[in-house]
Amino acid sequence: MPVESMKSKRERARQLAAAFTDTYPDAHCELDYEDAFQLLVATILSAQCTDKRVNMVTPTLFERFPRPDRMAGAGRAEIEQLVQSTGFFRSKARSIQEASADLVTKHGGQVPASMEDLIALRGVGRKTANVVLGNAFDINVGVVVDTHVARLSKRLGLTTKTDPVKIEQDLMKLVPQPNWALWSHWLIFHGRRRCPARKPDCEGCEVATLCPKRGVTKKK
């Protein structure tokens, strides 16, 4: 298979973005939230946990602690109990409480709209910061790389990397910047609805002509 040029990849990424826009016009973050603080907390809780499970937990959590000051001043044991079903609950409870405390003491109780300030918060890495910036503030600083995005970006021939940071760097060179936040939503929707890992529906795929099908076993 000939090596694809960067120019060709960039054009294909642009065409993929256009196709995904038509295919998944309702693609969105599937975590439930009402403001940037809620999204920050929900994203921390979503680590190694499904969005569905997080959405079952957060209504009660946010009813009890709707603001950073309330979360920061809560009893740790109560937070742990409320988020226990999301897994790694002690670490997550500590992260959301200490991040909330940082918001109160360093940012006047407001979630900052910059990558530098967000990743300085307890429990917040680049992935979480990208989720918050892209969805709560409509700021495209980077691309969220989760398991769906990593797997499908490789299958689509846009990266050969396995490290999320390196995958993000590859995608930022190819995907149009206005689509960086949407890219993750499109690939998550596509991965769940059309292109699962083991049995992708290549025959019914809306972007089949733009996909080299890397890692897909051909039918005999």
The fold adopted by the segment(s) 36-136 is: Endonuclease III; domain 1 (1.10.340)
- Categorise residue 87: left if φ over 0, alpha if ψ from -120 to 50, beta otherwise: left
Spatial separation of the C-alpha atoms in residues 105 and 119, rounded to whole Å = 16
Instruction: Name the token pair of 80.
Output: 């742990």
CB 67 within 8 A of CB 58: no
| Torsion, CA 54, CA 166, CA 159, CA 210, rounded to 10 | 50
The fold adopted by the segment(s) 6-28+144-210 is: Endonuclease Iii, domain 2 (1.10.1670)
pLDDT score for 119: 97
Spatial separation of the C-alpha atoms in residues 95 and 14, rounded to whole Å = 37
Q: Give the catalytic positions in this structure.
A: 127, 146
Domain boundaries, the chain: 6-28+144-210, 36-136
Mean pLDDT of successive 10-residue stretches along the chain, which has 220 residues: 88 97 96 98 96 98 98 98 98 98 98 98 95 98 94 96 96 97 96 93 95 72
Name the residue type at position 210: L
pLDDT score for 213: 85
pLDDT score for 201: 95
Instruction: Name the token pair of 2.
Output: 């000939």
Spatial separation of the C-alpha atoms in residues 104 and 143, rounded to whole Å = 28
Spatial separation of the C-alpha atoms in residues 81 and 120, rounded to whole Å = 26
Q: Which residue shows structure tokens 């000939």?
A: 2
Is the fold of 6-28+144-210 the same as that of 36-136?
no
pLDDT score for 220: 42
